[in-house]
Amino acid sequence: MAFVAGQPVTAVVQRIEIRKLRHGDNLILGFSIGGGIDQDPAQNPYSEDKTDKGIYVTRVSEGGPAEVAGLQIGDKIMQVNGWDMTMVTHDQARKRLTKKNEDVVRLLVTRKSLQQAIRQSLH
């Protein structure tokens, strides 16, 4: 998933729809994110390219809505409900995911195994 600045990013994505769970006063999704354009990309354990400042899934809680929907640890989130996640700050990403008036978030995520699966199916 290397990208060249200024060129459009091409990736194989999986569409994941997560229903938020009401837990007391909050709506939770059941995973943790890391990364962002204001963070240090070298510390990201899940990215192939250590200059990639995208948003990655760092933890998925057991039995939570994200796990149920098929989100895996190490996924890079490309879009949330149509909003781009490849060039956002960490806080903006958090805000896009935790909007109080949305019950459902539709993510486009990508992972290395998807690329490999597509390549294998083509050959």
- Angstrom CA distances, 29 to 4, 19, 60, 108, stand at 32, 7, 9, 15
| Contact (CB, 8 A) for 48 and 2 | yes
Which helix H or strand E contains 17, and what residues bound it?
strand 14-19
**Least separation, in Å, of the C-beta of 55 and other proteins?**
10
Using CB under 8 A as the binding rule, whether residue 28 contacts other proteins is answered as: yes
- Report 64-123 residues binding other proteins (CB under 8 A): 90, 94, 97-98
Among 15, 19, 32, 48, binds other proteins (CB under 8 A): 32
* CB-nearer residue toward other proteins: 79 or 115: 79
> What tokens does 17 get?
């729809």
Strands 76-80 and 26-28: unpaired
* CB-nearer residue toward other proteins: 43 or 116: 43
Residues that bind other proteins (CB under 8 A): 28-29, 31-35, 39-40, 43-44, 58-59, 61, 90, 94, 97-98
